[in-house]
Structures are given as C-alpha cells and as structure tokens.
Structure 1
Amino acid sequence: MKKGNGLVYLFGIVLVIFLASFVSATYNFSNHSIQSSYSKDSSISGSIKISFTNEPINSLFTDSLGNSIELRDLLFSSQSYSYTCAYTSCESKFASVASGTSFPFSLPNEESAFYGLVFDVNLEKINSASFELVSDASESSENQISIDFFNDDEIDIKNTKVGSSFGDENFGCFNSTQTTTELTITSTPYCQNISLYESPGLKMGAWVKKIVSGPNTISMKLYKEDGTFVNGCALTTISSIGTEVFCNIDSPIEDKNYFVCINSVGSGGDYKIRGFSQLNNCGFQGVPPKNPVYTYQIGVSERNFGNVGTLQISNTLPNGNNLSTMIENYIVSKYGGKDCSTETCFVPIKITSSKNQSITLRNLNVNYDFQGGSGVAMTSIHKFEEDPSNVNASMGSLPLGSFFKLPNQEQNITYGFNYKGNYLFQKSISIKDYGIGVYPLKSAAGFPTNFKAIVPPGLNISSYNWDFGDSISTTTSIPSVKHTYQEKGNFTLVLKASTSVGEILTNFKIEVESPKEILDKEIKESKTRIHEFEEKLILLDSFEKIEVEKFVNVSFLKTELEIIEFDYSLATNDEEYAQIVSRILNLSFPLSLEKIDSGQIFFIPTEESIDLEVLSSITGKTYNNSQSTYDYIRFWNVNKLDSDVSEKSLVIVWMEKPPSYIRFFELSVSPSKTIDEDYYFIIKNVEGLSLEKEGQFEEVGGYNYIKLMSQNNKFRFSTTETGPISNLMFISPSIIDIGEIGEIEESKKDILIIILGIVGVLLIGLFVYFILHRWYKVKYERYLFPDKNHLYNAIFYINNSVKSGMEEYEIRKNLLSAGWKGEQVSYLMKKYAGKPTGMVDIFGFMKDKPQNSPKQVPPKPGFNSEYQERGKNTRFNK
C-alpha cells in the first residue's frame, strides 16, 4: 500500500513537470528607477517595474558587473511587491528521474545540477552520511565547484585545494604614476584597504627599500574589515634599491574587503616603504580598522584554486556541522516529521560549476535506523529534476535591495541589467568617493539610536533618505535621524543624499547587538584608542602637542570613560545599559593620529601674497603699486635670499566626523649676500593660524610680521587652512628702488638735416640705429619674455646647469627640446655670459656698466616659479 502510494506520488510529480512545460511563462518589463550616483563599495539602488506570469522562482537576474541573484531572493527581500507562488512557501519540488551507485555527468560553466537522497520509510535516526565527488576541473582563479545541501543558498562544500600560480597583483587605490614619498617602516603598521576575491591563499607585500640592514623582521599581516587578524608572513631578500617584495599565506580568503599591513618587528635596521596622499586615499598608519588618510604601495595577489580531483565529503563538514543531523533536521522541517512512509522525502544536493568539467558522484554511504530495523545502508544516489514554484505578479515596482554590488573604486560605467539572459536596460552610473559617512555603526536592539550623517562641505544636501534595511525608511532635512532596530543582527543602511550634483547613495553596515554587548566592546575599544593616541602624542614636540590638544582633550575623555566604566559596573538591566551606550557614543574618541611629511620646497612669494599697504604700514614708506614693484620684491627674494619652507601634516581621524588636518610649516631664511636695508617676514593672520614664537611677532592690518636678522632665521607655524601657503606670506625689503624707464622722446628736427642732405641721411640713419638699439635694450627682453617668471626660471636653470658642469651645447639642446624658440635661447645664453643681447654698439658709449651676476638658487626653469625643488641637473618642463 505504501509502496503504491509512493509510485503514485512519483508519477504525479513527473506529470506535473510534464504539464508545466506547456504552461506559458512570461514577464513584462516596463521601466526602472535606478539611481545615477553612488559612493564606492555601495550597491545598485532602485527598482524595476515588472510583472510575472508563471515565471520559475529560480529564474536569474544578472548584471554587467558579474552579480547574479535568483528571483526568489528579490521577492523574499521585498515588503512592497505583491506576488503569489504555485507551491507553499514558494519552495521547489523534486522528483527522482534516475538512481545508481555512481553518477558520471558533465557540468558546464555557471550551471547547476540536482542530485540527492530519497527516503520512503519511517525514520528513527540518521547515523552518518558520506560520499565522494570526483572532478577533472583544472587550476582556476575561481572556485570551480560548490555543493549546497537542501537548496537553501548556503554553500556547504567548496574546493579548498591550493594552486601553484597566482592572479594579477592588486595594489588597491595606489597609482604608480603618482610622485611618492619614502616613509620609515616602524612597529606601527602601514595598512591598505584592498578588495579581495575568494581564494585559498594569497601573496602579499609592498615596495620596500633597505637603508640599513638589521635584525628586525619586516612583517606582512592580513586583517578582516572588523580588525580580526587572519594570518601573516615575513618579507625576505629586501634590496637596497627598492623593489616589490612578497610572501605567501595559505589561509582561505573570502570575497570581501581586507586590510593588508606592513610593519617592523624588532629594531636595528632601517627600511622604507613609499606612498603618497590623494583625494581618495585607502590607507592609514595604525592597527585596523581606521579611516584612510594616505596611500601606500602595498598589494596582494590571490592564489588560484588547485585541481579539484577527489573531494571526500564526510559526516563532519569543514564548518564543523554534522551532515547526518542536518539531513534529519531538513526532513523534519520540510515534511513535518521523520515519517517518509506516507510521503516520500527528497533531500536535494545542488552542485554548481564555475568551469566546464566532468563530475562523478560515487561511494555514497548513508547509515540510518527506521521503525523496524537499524543500521541500514543507503548506497544509491538519485538524479533529481527540479520543479521550481511558479510566480505570478501584476505590474509593480520590485526593489533591487542591496544584492548588486558596485566596485570599491572610482569610475564611470555603463551598467547593464538582464533577466534570464535577456537584456532589460542599460544606464550610465558614476562611482565616486564623496566622503559621506554615518555614525554610529552600532545600535542597541530595542532602543533608539541617533544616527548622524557625516557630510563634507560643498555637497549642499537638501534632504536625506534613510533606508535602515529592516523594511523601515524615512526622509529628513537634517543630517540626523533616530531609529530603533528591534532585532539583533547585521543590517545594511542605505543613505540617499539629495545634493547639488544629484542623488548620491551610500551603503553602511550596521551591527545591532544588545546594549550590554555594545558597551563591552565600546569601552574596550575606546580605552585602546585613547592609549594608542597618547602613545602618538608622546612622540610630538611641544608645539605640535599644543595644537593637537586644541582638537582632542585627552584628560576629559579619560575622566568620562572612567565614569562610564563605573556606571556600567552598577547597571543591572538593558534600560540602564542603553542609557550608558548613548553617553559613550556621544563622546568623540579619535581613531588615530597620523603624520604626513610633504617635503621641502624653494620659497618665492607670489604676486598675490604681497600686500603693499601692509608693507607700507610696517615700514612707514610709500610704494608704487605697479607691476615693477611686485617684480622687484620677487626677484629680490631670489637674488638676496636662500628661502626654504618644509611642510608636514598631522591628521586626527574620527569615527563620527571628517578628519581634522593641522598643517605645520618651518620657514628657513638666510641671506645669500649682504643686505643693507631692513627686511621683513609677513604672514596673514588667517583663522587657525598659530605661531610657535608668537611673542616675537607684531600685528598690523590683519597680518603678523617680524624684522629678519642678517643671519639664519627659522620660524614654525601651523594652520588649518587649505591651499598653497604662498597665498598667506611673503618676505620683502623695506627699500624698493625701481628705475622707471620713460618713453623714448622723438628727436627734434635739426635745421642742418634740411640743408645738408647727406648729413641728414646720416643723422636719420643714426636716429634709426639709436631707436632700434634702444628698443633692443629696453623692449626686446619683454618682447621675448612677456612673463618674467619664465625669464627668471630659465636663468636659474642655466646657472644651475653651468655649476654642475654641463656643456653649453647641452644646455641649448635641453632648452630647445623643452619648447623655447631659438631666438629666446640665444638671448638667454648671451645674457648669462654677459655678452651683448641687442644690436652691436658701434660707438661704445651705450654699454651698460658691468654688474655682478646674481647668486641664485635655481628652481626648475619651468613657467611656475612660485615653488621649485632644489637640486642639480634639473630639466626645464614647459
């Protein structure tokens, strides 16, 4: 009787599948509402307007970025889209179409096949289960195979074998075309945020240079996004010329973002890494996680998966779960009990391929007890035919959720979206790092949390739409909102900001825990942050420390943390814990303190920075507001002074707001020749300016100034202002002596010219000669060099090249190849050599008195003379 019922059921399933093939499955796509602007590492946001008629629930949506998701996942994640399924709970049904002790079959790339177990008895217990999978799939950058027990989208088995080769190297946001700075590797790690693909291991490393060899070890470490340490290795064979060096780890890597770090273990040697700062950094110095402030030449390369060969699936799975217990629980959940005698129980095993391969399933051994017998062995594997539940839905907006991930790098792309391999739409989207953040990223379950949007200036946001990922969303006109997560778990908060450049979407991972769990972590993390910050603070000099403490009151934070710890020890329930959570999350704890050296540059004041009215107030003299005055001051700086300015920045990184930048400058001024007049260093008193020796300065008209001495002068100051420092300060002499050149007057007619024709012709010729000679002497230089900066730079370059021993023909060749005209080059070479640059002086009375060549410290002879690097053998870059 029971056996007959089973046959009837099997026949019914096959009949349903047969009849279903004649049912028309259709969909109707209307349009979409996909957003255009996204932050890095977010996901496509919006919805598609679509209807379904008898569409299989396992139909696949795909996009041009390699994302894919089944229709069932979109339906289950939506709270607003109405649909119905043919089967209860929209689950697929299965039927056995063949069985055997060994099943060989081919499985193409990106396709799946269903096999499984069939029970038709009243089970008591499943004691054990095991089988083998044999594949001929060779080494690959993607995992070649995955096994999903019960078709629940949870991958239970994958290939874990390690290949012998590696993929392409990935240095995150590092750009090899940028100018880099060498940084000393210390015990405090340099870290880079890099997106990794799934792999059985990787090699990680960096560009490293050995300055002094020592016993210390240069170590690479890998961390998860939450700061969990994964594995590490040591770099060897580091050269003194600087090269990329890697070491290997064999830990399994997930398809996620990681922190790759380098630091020195021990002391004695001196090793360098290099990096640079850019608008969208992805690195930092410190223990992860921290906010990015710099970019380093740190990279990885994922190891390929090895040949699949034979996978032994034993009763204890790699994740520690018991396969026999899992099968038993599935049958109870699916069929309401373990009695499979009245309704046959099908246990599906979904096998998915990412590479064309031939597979054999064999050596199945399932040991079970049933009512009437014990220790029964099942050895037959069944091939299943899936009968997915059909979906029906009228036209409506189906949200895409957070399934379609975007890259973690800036780019503009044409995004394509497909259903069942059929094109639905394309849209141009922009992915940028807008610097938008949300704080806090933790919330206490069951209690309201005040979330704040961290927005950089300039976006002009008019509204904020908050989708909390728990089916609740709201819109505010201010950058904050209160929300209560009712359950513990991880949620994706999608913030849509309406800005002057359009709507920008950014995703954030919100961790929801009990108030006590949050307090445990926050107190521990806050104490660690304060301790690390104090360690960095100790390394600063007194001036730097004073400026940093204007932003971070360490004593106040430590006192508040002690009070919170005491109150935490007295709390007894979630309400009291939640109140303390609110207090600690409202405190601003610095995540890190980073130092960035920007190097030293040659200083010449810009024309815009020179304020003649302020100079007049300081000296009591009156100055002609003409181009010649500005040129005189700037060339006087070059001719009389050796001026250098060095810059370094301290960056305070916060969780709940953008980083605070403090720029420190040291100006060094020393005369290159004797200076008889008084001269002054003058700096604009902008907001955020601090002078280390403020008492030595005087103030006038919104400026601070000091009279410079005849020996070396050094000044340190800091500012929070952005932009070139040249716009804030200048150095000027008190005496500005400019010999104004008047207009050339026409000669008076000489009566003798009229009377004596020959004499007249001679005089006219002499007059023409005089005019041309005068033009060449006064106007020719301005004609060749309308911008005197170009003239100054070129002279400095020639001077520097001559000092370095460069031959004249090489100098000419370099200038010509840089874009100067032959006439300009000839003029420059003559002028530098002290030769006549105009017409021949046939009488000798028009010669200039000899002048000493100015001693100059040349920048590169380019068109920008404001900031130039020191050095020899510079090349002109027009």
Structure 2
Amino acid sequence: MKREVLFGILIILSISSILLVCVFPNALAGYSIANNSLSLAKTDFAFNEVIDGSFNLSLANESADSLLKAVIGSSTQTIKLVDFLNLAAQIPGYGAINFSCYPENCSYDYSAVGSGTSSMSVNGEKTLGFKITANEVPSINSLVFSISGNSPDTTCVGQSPIQIDLLNDNETDFEYNESGDWCYDLKPSECYDASASGEANISSSSMPLCEKVLMLKTDRLRLGAKVKKTGTSSGNLMMFVYNPEQSENPQSPDCDIAEPNSDYELKTCEMDYNISQAGYYFICIYDTSFDETYSIKMETSKKYCGKQGLPESLSDTEKKDFALYYQETGYKNLNKVIEFDAASLTSALQEYVGNYANCSGTKGCVIPFRISTTQQISVNATLNTSAGTTTKFYEVNKTAARVNMNYTVVPLSAANFTAPSATGNYSLKLYLGTPLIGTIPITVSNISSLKTQVQTEIINKKIKLQSFAAAISNLSSRYSSFSGNISSVLAGLGMAPNVLNASLISIDNSSTQANPDWASLKGELDALLIPDSLQTVKFQEIEIPVDSEKISPSLLSQLGAGEAEKTEQVMKNAIASWQNSNLVLKANVEGISAQVSGQNIGIITFFTLKITPLNDLQDVFFAVELPSGISAPSVSFDQNYSSYGKQELSNAIGFKFSSLSSGQTAAINFAILGLYNYIDLGFSASSAFSQLPGIVILSCGNKICEKNLGETTKTCPEDCKPIGLVVWIIIFVAAALGGGYYGLKWYYKTHYEKSLFKNPLDLNNIMSFIQTSQVHGLNEEEIRKKLKQAGWNSEQIDHAFSKNKAKKSPSASIKS
C-alpha cells in the first residue's frame, strides 16, 4: 500500500513540474552563480578605469530586462542582461557564450488581453496586436489598415497626425502627412534681436549669410529676410536651407525672394522641402550679382547663431546674427478614410512570427502594432495568413524576452563598469536584479590614474596623428609642386608627422618598460603637441583694385622700367592710371593653417595671380611686394617662369613680359609660408616709364640740347651750353611773365584746392576713383551719383573732373 501511495505522489509532483514549466514558464525563472566565482583581474584601479573580471553564470527563463548592477560607494551603474550578454560574446579570451531567448530574437513578447475587436477608436498612443494560432508557423499573405477621421483642422506640433509602427520596434512604417496651413507667423532665430540697427552686405553664393534656427518637422517652408537694395546692379536674392551634419544633399534647392527697394522690408519666398526630423538647421541668403548690391539687418549684441560662409557644423557660428525668417506648414488632420497596405512589410512580419514557437501552438503569438495620433480616429484592419483571415485585434501586454544559458564564465568588463573618480577604499557589490552576486574590496589611487591617463593619451595621440598625417598627405598630393615646401614649413614649426611619430613611439616604448616614471611620461605627452586638424580658408577669385599707395616705382625701376625722375607720388599716379587702362589683375587664395590646442597656426598660403591685358602690350613690368619679414628666396613657384622674365628682388618678386596679347591671361602660381591674403601684398604693373602718359625721361649725354624735353643748362649741362646776354634777357622777361602767370595760377590753385580739400589726399582719392570707374564702363552721371552718395559735394566733384580732363588733354603734362 505504501508503495502505491509513494508512486502516486511522484506522479503528481512530475505532472505539477511539467505544468509549471509549460503553463507558467516564469514561475521557475532565475539564475545561479557558481560558488565564489566572482573575481577581478586586479583590485587597484585608476580614476574611472573600467573594472575587469569574471563570474560563472547560469540562467533559466531570466528576464532579458533584468539589470546587472554594480554599487561602488554611493554610485550605481547598470546594464540590461541581454545587452551585457551580447557585448560579452564579442570580448576575446573567453569561451563561447551561448544563450537562447524566447522569442528567439530576444525582443519583447506580447500577449492578447480581452476578447478583441474589429474596430477601435484611438486618440493618443495605443499598442494593439493580432493573435495567431495555427498548427504550424503560418505564412503571412497581406495586412491592410483602414483609418477614418473627420477633423478639418491643421496640427502644428511638428509631427504627422497619424503614425503606425508595425511590430512596435520604434520604426515608423506609415504616417499621414498631407500639408496643412501655415503655422504661427514668420519668425527669426531665437538669437536675433529685431530692435538692433546694424546691417551687413549680402555676398555671393560662396560666402552666404546663414542663421541657425530650430525647425519643426514639415514638408513646406516660407523663408524671408529684412533686406534693402543699396547698389545699382541687377541681381537676385536667393535663400536656401542647409544642414552641415547631413552627409547627403545637405543643401535645399534655392528659392528666389522678391526684389527689395531702398528701404528695409521683409521679403519672402516659398519652397517644397521636407524637414524629416525636428531640430536645428541653417537658413542662408546670397546675392547672384557678386556686387554686394543688397544689405540685410544684422546685430552682434546677444547670443550668436549667425555665420558668414557655409557652416561646417551646427556649432559653427560667429559673433553676429542676421534678420533671416522662416515659417513651417503643419499637417492636415485626417478628414476622410485612408488605407495603409503593408504589402512591402510581409517579409518582416514572416520573420517576426518565425521567432515564436508558440505561433504553432495552442497559446498562439501576437503581432503587435502601435498607433500614435493627435486626433480622434477609427481603426480597422484585415490580416490574411495561411491559417485564415482575421479582422479582430486586441489590446496587449508587453513582457521582456526570457533568457536561458548553461553555466558560462562571462567577462565583467563587458558591462563597462568604472571605478570612482576619487581616491579611497571601496567595496564593489555586484547584483543581477535584486540578489547579490558577490562583494570584492577595491582601491582607487592616483598612481593608477596617472598610468591610465598616459596609456589613454598615447592611444588618443596616435589616432590624432594618423588623421593629421592623412590630411598633410592629401594636401601635398593636391599641391604636388609645393610638397617640399609644405614638409619644410612643418619641420620648422615642429609639426612634421614623421618627427611627431618618432617621439610618440619613444614615449610608448618607455611606457612598456619595467617601473616607468609615469609623471615624466605624462609631461612628455603634454609637451608633444599634435595638431587637431588642418583648416583651409579659400577666397573666391577676386579682382584686385589698383591701390596707388601700394605701387612701388623703385621696384619697377629695378626690373628695368627706367629711372623715375619725377616725384614718387606723380609716378605712382601715372602708373596707377596706366594699370587701370591696360590690365585686369585677379587672385585666387587658399590658406592652410593647423589647429593646435585651440590656436590657429598658419602653415602656407597658395596664390594664383591672373594678369589679363585689355590691349596688346609690349614690355610690361610687374612686381609683387611681399609681406614684411618674407624674403624673395623663401617664395616657391610651381615652375621657373623664365618665359615671364621672373626675377628675385630684395623684398619682392618681379616679372618682365616682353609682350602680352589682349584678352589672353598669364597665370602665376606661388606659395608663401604662413597665412596671408592678397591685401598683404603690393602689386605694381607698368610699361617702360618713358611710355607713361605725361612722364618725360631725359636723355642727357647725346650732345643734343633737347629743350622740348625739358633739358636745360641746369638739368642737362653736358648737352645745353650757356647762351648770350640778349637771349638771357629775353628768357628772363619771358620767365618773369610766365612766372607771374603761373604764380597767379599757383596761388589760385593752392588756395582754392585747400578750401575744397582739407586733406590733399582726398583729391587724389576722388581722381583715382573717377579713373577706375571710367575703366569699368561707368559714365560721368553714374560716377557723380556714387561720389555724392559717398558724401562729396558738387564743387569738389566738378574740380576733380576738371583735373582729370586736364590730365587727359594731349597738351597737359604732369608736373613734379
């Protein structure tokens, strides 16, 4: 009898165990740690050093969301169990870490709640699901949603009014995003102060004015700017959206805003452009005329979001803000019935149900979907599978996957738990969920911290040096003719990649020796400055205006243009006039600098000068005066330019062109060590001085007294001999009369001009402006208008025109 009772009890216990496992799988969930298996690779750590060690773990239906937790002092660090196991499987030096999940992909499990429905009203967010029960894993044939709403309004919250996330995996598979009305009003950047009175010229497309703004999700924009027209040229103002952190197509198409008048006004344009994610973007404006014909409101007094030129990142701003405006459309609420056919997602659904063994069991499995809406909608759906068609869906419960694993030694470093950032003795307590795995004392010390800092810094500097060396290699490849010069300047600045690498290898080798002096190595690393990056500053091709003050007659004389026998200012004016009438000089500039510990250090600047004659010319002398401290031998060229008659002068480089044909450009490429622009150079171009209008060069020594050229017994005694008394008297009387006349003329000229121009240079500046403007095709009326706009009165302008006309007269000459 006792045998039968005992046998019955064993049968009941066996059946109960089976029911617990099959019907209530979480009832036996848990984990086990092998005795005293928690160990650390060491117990002495540096500040914030990752704690390395291991423990022997087994799992039985443990929740994938259980937290592995390290408590050290007052700090707590956690990681989800499934994330820890996935990371542990990637760490070398340990055996295979084999664990399994239900569902197989370790994602969340869903169970249906209630009796289900074939139609549901939703407002807000709700997670629902289809329940599948079949004899085998079913084939997914189709899934179609039918959604209806009756709201005519526009939502302005920056998101689609209806979104469906099939499988609830945080990926939106369908959204209703029909454009609605404009939201809010045109608004400027949060940084811009509309009461400011500053202004800025609008440049070309290579240097647009940009402002960072916070945009909502939308697919239609209105852009605007407070602008006015300041010039006479005809151009177009274009605006666009720019995201420097978007690798593909970071810039939107342009939209053309209306032509402004001479007073500031808000001009706008509209564009179809999809802002797929709310966030910060730049809106930019530029002028197609290249003549700075327009101005825009600007301020520099507050928080800054502006940038001149295309920004390189969302944080790339300057101390300025521009009056750029924007406005988004919202999305229409649903006011009709729409369908979402998930035909393209059936393979994903098939893969999902394949992860569930219960899809072919009595319990069944659930295909979840999440609906998010900002309005009241009605939802219907039809799922067709090989097991049949259903229109019923359920509210669902979501639970974490369950994990199983036999005893396995797992690396603690996969959790990325770190030591505290203060010295002291601590206890490391490790938990999985609530139960304690084990406790181990650890020590945090300064020496370990210094060692870790050195080892980490060596790695960081190696990575930085590789990046810098690659940038230098790319630069040398682009400017192969100057590669030697680039290497030379880097060596001079202590930035040669090969030298930096040798120093870094030496420090690295020292760190691996027995008992290294970590403090000394830290000092060596701090002193080893490796550039963070190369910076390139490009200036678009620009026409260099003639600057008479930078013209050097003496340099041209050294090139063989002749001796300057007039005053320097007279020669400068004559040379400037000749250059304006005969040449157009343009420059391209690209400057390279290195960012080192927050400082910008100039490396080299590449120049391309383009000389285009307006007429056929013979014997043209051209000199480029170098920046202070730069000698001619230090300037490098991409070729010898012997055909251009290149010469090295003391502080300049010069060229003598035997001939230049009208319209045919002569280009010169050279590089200067350091960071410069074309304004740091001086440019002088001239014919032989004897050919300059109004300039006469004496030819003493030819035994002929050329009085028509101004030779006298004083200026050229070897050619002009003394003459008789009568002739002297005649000369004296003529000179007296002439002197009286010119004296009166001089008195009138001096006092009259002084009354008009307090500063004598003002007259020269106006005359140079008139000459330059005439060369560029402006008529007298246009020139007078620009001078009046600059503040000169009519009497000053009339006098300057009279002087210019006198200079152009065939009988006029330039007097010294």
TM-score (norm 1): 0.39
